[in-house]
Chains A and B, each alone.
Chain A
Amino acid sequence: MKITELLFFFMLFTSVNPAQTKDFDFSSPINIKKFADFLFCDRDYLRAALEYERLISSEVKDTLLFKIALSYSIIGDYPFAIKYFGKIPYSSSYINEAQLELIKTHYLMNDYYGVRSFYNNSFIKEANKYQLEGNKLFNFSYLFTKDELPSKEKFLSPFNLSEKDEISEYYDWKQDPLYKSSTIAGIMSAIIPGSGKMYVGEIGDGIVAFITTTVFSFIAYDNFKAGHNTRGWIWAGVAALFYGGNIYGSVAAAQVHNAKITFEFNDGLNVFLQKNNYYTPAYGFCDEK
């Protein structure tokens, strides 16, 4: 009898239940936090940041702010990253990391003057940790700009022994870049066709330019000498075109060479910084516990 009653109540209750269901609360702060952490570790950073942002009104925790900022930094939304790193209070345990991340963000924005200004005005005063790392990034910024480099000794001082060789090479490269003067290249080609290209390092092109200009000039000369003036002028025009082209080509080759040197230099620096993750630490937010 009791079981029958029990079953009756059960049936009654379950039939009424859906209308009164107290739902699983997807929007409770704890569930939002769990889901945001999952998204963050699943590398879905934009959604993670948006979920963490939902929690800011209910609880302001520096870890949340830091993770939001980190998420925006990773997806390349640097203004938002700066905004959230900047919101981390000085009393927070993340203040040192946030300061270092701000330097990194300026780097990622190619704002090297911003790196230096932030380092001098804020980082030195506010950060208790990572001063060496900050100093390395500060010094590095000089390699990206045209400003005068600090002395080599001062420049290399924050770097480890293992890094010094490579950084020293970059320093020397910056001090004495392997640029070629486009003016010299042009003048050389005006005097001896093709020599400007050889000066830039394009030996084959230089030889071809020399031969073509010389050959057409000779044909023009030969025709004038033989009394074929019309043909002589035609060939003189062709020779002049090749001669002008050879000068223009030498100037352009020097400019291309210089652009290539600059690109390779900056690319090498960026690869080095990325390899070292801009001297920022690993945070271990997604490490297995």
Chain B
Amino acid sequence: MRNAFASAVIERCADPDHFFLTGDLGFMALENVRAALGPRFVNAGVAEQNMIGVAAGLAREGFKVFAYSIAPFCYARPFEQIRNDICLGRLPVCLVGNGGGYAYGYMGPTHHALEDCAAMTALGVRVLAPAFDDDIPAMLASFEGPTYLRLGYDCRPQGAALDAYAPWRLVLPGQNGILAALGPLAGVAWRALGQLDPSVRPAVWAVTELPLPSIPDEVLSAIDEDLPVIVIEEHLAAGGLGMQLAHALALRGKSMRRFVHHHAIGYPRERFGSQAFHRSLSGLDEQAILALINDKVIG
């Protein structure tokens, strides 16, 4: 999604009230952004706490600021600067974390982002987790206050067409329950279930914002009918989409009687590998999703 992001940022930053800071990341991705923004593009170096403080200073003077790094260096290293400097003042800073979940694969767990959505929503930061490249321009157009943009890889089936962006978006119809996927896993589920008959598969929904936006009626109806509800997310269970959905439903007096939650499980065997490896261990790849549906929904 980096190239899609770069194009969207250039378009957004045509407005001169925008700055772009990077923590020395962006080789072969952000060169065009640097060229387009000129002095409003600042490489703040390998010093993320300072970068977020500087971003807050610029934002306090009326600029909208993007602050870009590998995801954990963007939300975890400068956590206190986000909390105190950005969130207390409700400042318009968009933290751009490249590589949500296990996306940095072999680079190892220091480069993974498994609790980012929980940490950011706990601070009142709006989390945007695009499922597809096409989501990014609409997301950037809506950027106002503290925001965290979680970039990954667009996994949709080749040539698949998308409806207009919405934070809950039906990407694959189905009549046997609901599968809600956080961000790019919607594309993975779409690929996994596309060959199944709509009468036996759940509808696949891409969920791309947290805190959870209002739940669509179709989803609520499925819950009322006690149909299966499957949540998949490349994020730890604590504070992620599954928990936020369960909480939102509990507040409405509803419960999911047939709830299945597949989420990132960390590193239970202290073995490391590609994103595909970790997705497989967590039951988040195509094969595991198909097996899950066959077992818990169809079977």
A and B are partners in one complex rather than unrelated chains: no
Q: Which residues of B contact A (CB under 8 A)?
A: none
Which residues of A approach B to under 8 Å, CB–CB?
none
